[in-house]
Amino acid sequence: MDTMLKLLYAVTITALLVSCGGDSATEDAAKKEMTRPQPKTEVIRSASMAAKSSSFSFDREKRVISNFTFDEVECRNDLRLCGEVMKFARGNTMSFTASGDASDYEGDLEFSRKVAGVFIVDKKELKADLLFAIRPVEEGAIFFTGILTFKNESTFKYAADEVSVRVKGRK
């Protein structure tokens, strides 16, 4: 009877281990897979760059930034995207040109106007939107800040589908 109890005990323990996933070889392999460093993805989900406008045009009557240019972009977090954009530009000036009238922006950001247009890098034209705010600085001079957002269209390897550039300029 003692042998029967030991055998029943062994069968019960084995059944419990198998039903509870007690396959330690599989668990160890899964743990190693989870703790092994995963390769970093090459796509930056919220790419953000900054640029200073070298020149811009402001239509006072229509209250719109009709175009602006900049020579370089800066990145705080990941330099790969900025390097790629600068290489793609090949030393040429990058520009934004509005393709219509501006409208009032009613979102949560600190901007008051928005306009659609085209962002040009080298010879590549990308659809873009500009959110911006204009502020007079001194007699006749103005300062603008904005966020230029463009669709990547697979142009830049290290960028998400949508890329933003924080822009500022003074005239």
What is the structure's pLDDT at 160? 85
Which numeric CATH code is attached to 48-170? 2.40.128
What is the structure's pLDDT at 38? 40
Domain range annotation of the chain: 2-35, 48-170
What does pTM read for this prediction? 0.70
What is the structure's pLDDT at 121? 95
| C-alpha span between 138 and 111 (Å, rounded) | 20
What is the mean pLDDT, run by run of 10 residues, along the chain of 171 residues? 55 50 49 43 54 94 94 87 93 95 93 96 94 89 94 85 93 86
What is the structure's pLDDT at 171? 86
What is the structure's pLDDT at 37? 42
